Every structure is written in C-alpha cells, then in structure tokens.
Amino acid sequence: MGKRFRNIITTFIAVLSLIILAFSFKTNNVKAANNFTSSDMITSGAIVNQDKTYSMSSNVPLEYHFDTTGHDVSNGDTLTIDVPSPLTVTPGSNFDVTDDSGKVIGTAVLGNNNQIVVTFNDIEDHASFQGKLNIDTGINIDRKAAEVGTNTVPFPIKDGQFQDSTLKTSVSNKNVSKSGKFGTDENGEDIVTWTVLANRNELNFGTLNISDTINDPNLEYIQGSLTVQEAAWKDADTGTYSRGRTLASSEYTLNETSDSFNVSIPKAGTQMYAVTFQTKVTDPNKVTDGTVMKNSATMNGTIAGNGNNSTTIEENASGKVSGGTNSGSGSGDKLGGVTLTKIDEQNNNASLSGAVYDLYKVGSDTPIKTDLTTDENGKINLTGLAAGEYFFKEVLAPNNYQLNETEIPFTITGQTTTPVQVTGEDEPKQDELGSVAIRKVDAATGYKLAGAEFNVVNTETNEVVGTITTDRLGIGHLYNLEPGSYKLVETKAPEGYKLGSDTTFEITKDKLNVGILDIEDELNTEIDGNFTATLQKFDGSDMTVGVPGAEYTLYTENGEPITSVLTNEAGLLKVDNLEPGKYYFLETKAPEGFELNSDKIHFEITNDDVVLDHLITSDPRTEGNSGNEGNEGNEGNEGNTEEPGDNNGNEDTDNEENNNGGNVIVDPENPSTDNNNNNNNGGGVITNPGNTNNGNSTDSNNSTDTLPQTGSESGVVASLLGLILLSSVVYIKRRHA
C-alpha cells in the first residue's frame, strides 16, 4: 500500500511540475517598457508668454510639442521631460493626454526631480502621432537660481538640441501686495486663502489700515477666518519673507461684514504685516474650469514727518487666482496615405506613366521623398504618412509632355488610413504654356475657403482668359496660360466675406508655373443700421475644413426662436437685422456624417458694438471622431480679459519658502517656515490647501515620480520551482528503485 501511495504522489508531483514549467515559458515573454526622453521626442518646448514680466512668486505656463515618429511606442512606455532651471516643478498634479476623439492615450504627472512624466497607456491603434502638453499650473520660478531681469531658459529638445526661451523677472516696489491660493476647509469645501502683505517698504506708520471688499460673484467672505502676523524679509529682491508672531485680537481693531473687513493696527511703526483670510468658492466647478477669481485690497496710513509735516499713503493691490487646468492632446495618431493620379490636361481619361515627383512638407524646402514615379496606371501610392500638410512637385514630365511645377497640396488628418486622392495634369508639348494655383484663406484665421470665384485677366489686353473656383480646401488652378502679365480679379467671394483685392502675377518662359498664391479674404462685418451675427462651423477632426448643410436656429435669451439658417459650403452662416440683446445659436439638424452638437452658443449685441466677433464651433464625425476642438462659442469663461499666470493667476505677489511640516495649515503659501506662533489659529482651518491638483484628487499611495515596471520576471521563479519538483521526482524514484 505504501509503495502504491508513493507512486501516486510521484506522478502528481511530476504533472504539477510540467504545468508550472509550461506557464513559466509564457510569463517570461514580457516586453520591457521603453523610457523615452526629451532628446527622443520633444520637438518644441517654450514659455508661453515670453514678453511678460513675472514676479518671483509667479506661475509660468509652458507648452511642449512631441512626436513619436520613428519610435515603437507601446502601452506602459514613458516620456520623461526635463524642465530646465531656473524653473521648478511643484510635484503632485496629474492630467490626461487625449487624442482628437477624446480617448485617453496617456497620463502626465508633474513629478520630482524637476520632471514631467508621460505614461502611454492605451495606444494599440496609434502607430505614430504628434501631441502637445499645456502646463498652465505647477511650474514656478526657482528664486535661488533666477536673476532679477532677463533669464535664458534652455529647453532640451530632440537630438540633444536646445530651444531657448526668455524669462523676465522683476522686483516689486509696492507698499502692499496680495496673493491667493486654492484649498479646502475641514469639511472638504473649496476655498481661496488670501494673503495681503502690508507695509512692504517698512515705512514708519502711525495707525495702519488694511481693508478688502469681496466683489467677485464666485467668492463669499468667511467671517472669523482672518489672522494678522508680523512678517520680515529674508530676501527682498526675490520677494522671500518669513512670518513671525501672530497678533492677539486685542492688538488691532477688526470690523467685518458679510463681504468685507477692515483691520486697524495702532502704532504700526516700520513693521511689515501679513493679513490672511479666506473666501468660500460658491461653485466648485469654477475651481477647475479656468475661471479667474479676483478682488482688491487697500492699505492706508499716515507717516509722521519733521515738525508738523506728515504724509498720507493709500495704495491698492489686486489679487487673482485661477484654476486653469493642465492638458495634453495627441493628434495624427493614425498614419495616412495619398494617391496621386497623373492625367493628360486635354484628355482627362488618359493616364500618364513616367511622371516623376518629389514630396515636401509645407514650410520646408527639403523633400522628404524623391523620385516618386507614376506607374502604368498613372498613379503614385504612398502610405505611412504622419498628420500634416504636404505637397507634390513634378521634377520630370512624361515623354512628350511639358513639366508642370505647380504644387499639388494635400492634408493628412491622422484620423483615417484611407488615402487622400489628388490629381496632377500635364499638357502635351507644344508652345510652352504656364499655369497658376491659388489658395483662398480667411485673413484672420487662415481657414481655407471654398466657393471663391476669380477671373484671370491678361493685363496687356484686358481680356479674361479663364476662371478659377476654389474647392473645399480653398485650392484652384488654371492651365494653358501663355507667357505674359496677369491679374486675379475676385468676382464672387465666399458667403459672408468681402471681395479681395486684385493679385498680379507673371508667366515667363523661364518660369511657366507660378507657385501657390495665398489670397486672403476678410469677413464682411459692415453693418447698415442693424447688427449682423456670423457663425462658422468646422469639422472637429480638421479645423481647416468648413462643414456645409448644418441647420442652426437663432434664439432670444428667453428661448424664443427667431430664424433657422443652413451653413454654406465654407461652413458659414449669417443672420442680419438683429437688434441689441442676448441671443444664442443651437444646432437643430446636423449634416450627414456628423453628430448633433447640443451646446448653446451664446453672444450679446450692445449699442456700442460696431463689429461683432466671428463665432466659431465644430462638430465631431459620427464614425469615431468626436473631437470638438475650436468650439469657442460654448458657455464658459468668456469675457475674462485678465491673463491668469502668476500663482495660479496672481500677479505681483510674494510667497514664503515651501516647507510644509504638518497637516493642519493656517497659511497655504508656507505653513511652517519660520512661523513662531502657529498654534494661535485665528480660524478657517485648511486641511489641504496647497495640493488641490486643479481639482484632481491625489492618492498618497501613488508615488508620482515612480516609473512603471520595465518587465516581469516572475517566470524565473516559476521555472526554478518546476525544476525543483522534477528533481524531487527523480530523487524519490532512485531511492526506491
């Protein structure tokens, strides 16, 4: 019985060993993640506004562009971007990187070591793509590294190169400044903590008064949240200061209302003071949608002079805070293709083989592909093209045909692999004739305009020798032009546009083919006694292509319909004879192939308006393309004329050095640095003021600077276990043989 039992056990162990070994071969086949750097993919890195002068406490918005072409990018791969000195990254914030359809293809994290780390996580269909990162918050100035004045910031980009940006900094000479910061209170509600720094120049005041009235409709003053602390400069040039003793309530007079306060400090002397208070955010959505919240503080007091002379000083300081969010986008995620068909200009059914073309990217004089030759069917077929603007140029004509050097432009959108179809035409050899190509665009936006009609006039004979009508890409051609001087006379502008000026060109024997002439048209905004509103609708996947056939209904502010209008070939519609008032457009019927856009596009006409803004919207296609870029007409933060940029939008403010030593914080800018009396909390306790991540919650278990695993080696352990079990079988068999 014992021998039989041993045989059963031995057989079981052997089978288990084989199963473990089989699985180990599968688990060992794990692809290691690639860790790409700025030198691999970053094509551009820059400070967004290089003309602005920043205070040392400013937030500095950045913009990066990347391109994965030439790299085998897979899920789990990372792109680590080094942010150059004297800029510094505040770790913790994270945001999604999405493609044009809104699908998340990666996550970006503002991490430690002055880096931004992008992890690609859902890119099965993304063979190659370009993208952009807008970092609106979380990048500040390193006070120890930056100089007052002009700094050069070298951004690392592809191939070990650098792209320089200019960072201008200044020192404030104001007597009062104000800053704000988003946070949450003990109940998790959104608040803004404001700090007014008074008597910055340490003048000798008698009684010093600091007051503030909250006028912003997005904010409510929190009574009982105000504290007053003594402050002292650490480095006045860089705006670094420390907080000292918190004043007892008996040392100053405080008057509060539901929306204001006034603090009066007697015998203030040369002491600088930090007055901190809090406001509640009335709408939590405003914390993350880019809304600018602001208000102004006032400081006044009298400085004693010699004898009976004295000077009264009164100054204001505006503070603002914005929850502008960081964002990332990728476009051109699918590689596209193009088919060029070469035909006889006089016989469109005759395809021409043997024509040789070079392929260029718009803006470059160097071809990216050369010696592309039409086959026996007169075609050139290309695939694997990343999103962008391209053009073909003929370098060798077929036998017995004239060379046509007119550029043949086309666009790869990155949204489809279906080849773009273009046509090239050559004329049989005879008297040498030329050609001209035009591209019609909106003067303000560069959008391509269809439906413009031109007469081509010989300026010597004043004879119309041909006509041109621009297609959906704004392109038009005319061939068979004899050498001479010509002008393009626009006879019909796209609907809603003014007729453009005449454009002259010459055809010579040395230059038979004129390059593409860009001709601009301006919107027709002339108003004769009443007001006009214009709306232009674009393809959400290609903001250069207008969408015709969309029905929009114009409503009054109260929802009463006025009229319904269809967009024309350029995606444009126009409504005349409007009176001052508030209105909105709403799409009531989408054109074929597009989803209905349910967003209301609000606008207002006032008696002071002479020219109304041109409203723009876009719709996603129904087949997977749900991008809604360029929808500037939707409700949001319109009318915000001040640029948020410092301290999440605060200009001319001062922060303390960051050294958070605890969880309960009175001042979010520097909760514990040189704070000698933080136990005297005047109210309004903040549980998490400085790390709101623009509305994104942070998980303390997630390390923001930890890169993903580069591969799984668990199969090795399984293999060893399987071998040990097999060895046990052999040992048992030999022992009982």
416-445 pLDDT per residue, tens: 778 899 999 888 876 677 888 898 888 777
Tell me the per-residue pLDDT of 607-621, one tens digit each, with 9 for 90 and over.
765 445 567 887 777
Q: Which residue has the higher pLDDT, 251 or 580?
A: 251
Tell me the per-residue pLDDT of 25-36, one tens digit each, with 9 for 90 and over.
444 445 578 899
Residue labelled with tokens 């009396």? 677
Which CATH architecture is the domain 334-429 placed in? Sandwich (2.60)
Please indicate whether the domains covering 35-170 and 334-429 agree at the CATH topology level. yes
Angle, CA of 604, 605 and 607, to the nearest 5°: 145
Report residue 481's pLDDT band, with 50, 70 and 90 as the boundaries.
confident
Q: Sort 307 into a burial class: Cβ within 10 Å, 0-12 / 13-18 / 19+.
A: exposed
Is residue 65 predicted with pLDDT exceeding 90?
Answer: no
DSSP helix/strand/coil, 11: helix
Structure token digits, residue 181: 């910061």
Of 8-17, 197-206, 472-481, 590-599, highest mean pLDDT: 197-206
Tell me the per-residue pLDDT of 137-168, one tens digit each, with 9 for 90 and over.
888 888 788 888 889 999 999 888 999 999 98
Domains of the chain, by residue range, sit at 1-30, 35-170, 176-324, 334-429, 431-524, 531-619
> What is the pLDDT at residue 525?
57
Which CATH architecture is the domain 35-170 placed in? Sandwich (2.60)
Cα separation, 129 vs 67, whole angstroms: 6
Fold exhibited by the domain 431-524: Immunoglobulin-like (2.60.40)
Mean pLDDT of 566-580: 82
Dihedral (CA of 235, 239, 242, 246) sign? positive
Mean pLDDT of 191-203: 91
Nearest to 523 by CA among 545, 499, 505: 499
Nearest to 178 by CA among 155, 211, 207, 146: 211
> What is the pLDDT at residue 711?
37
Q: What percent of the chain lies above the pLDDT cut of 90?
A: 27
Q: For 217, phi and psi rounded to 5 degrees?
A: -65, -15
Tell me the per-residue pLDDT of 219-251, one tens digit each, with 9 for 90 and over.
999 999 999 999 998 877 667 788 999 999 999
Report residue 538's pLDDT band, with 50, 70 and 90 as the boundaries.
confident
Residue 501 DSSP class: P
Cα separation, 402 vs 429, whole angstroms: 5
- E strands, 416-556, in order: 420-426, 434-442, 453-458, 463-469, 475-481, 484-492, 503-507, 513-521, 531-539, 542-546, 551-556
Dihedral of the CA atoms 597, 599, 604, 609 (nearest 10)? -40
Cα separation, 564 vs 555, whole angstroms: 9
CATH number of 176-324: 2.60.40.740
Q: What percent of the chain lies above the pLDDT cut of 70?
A: 74
Fold exhibited by the domain 531-619: Immunoglobulin-like (2.60.40)
Cα separation, 253 vs 107, whole angstroms: 50
> What is the pLDDT at residue 334?
65
Tell me the residue length of the chain: 737
Nearest to 416 by CA among 59, 127, 71: 127
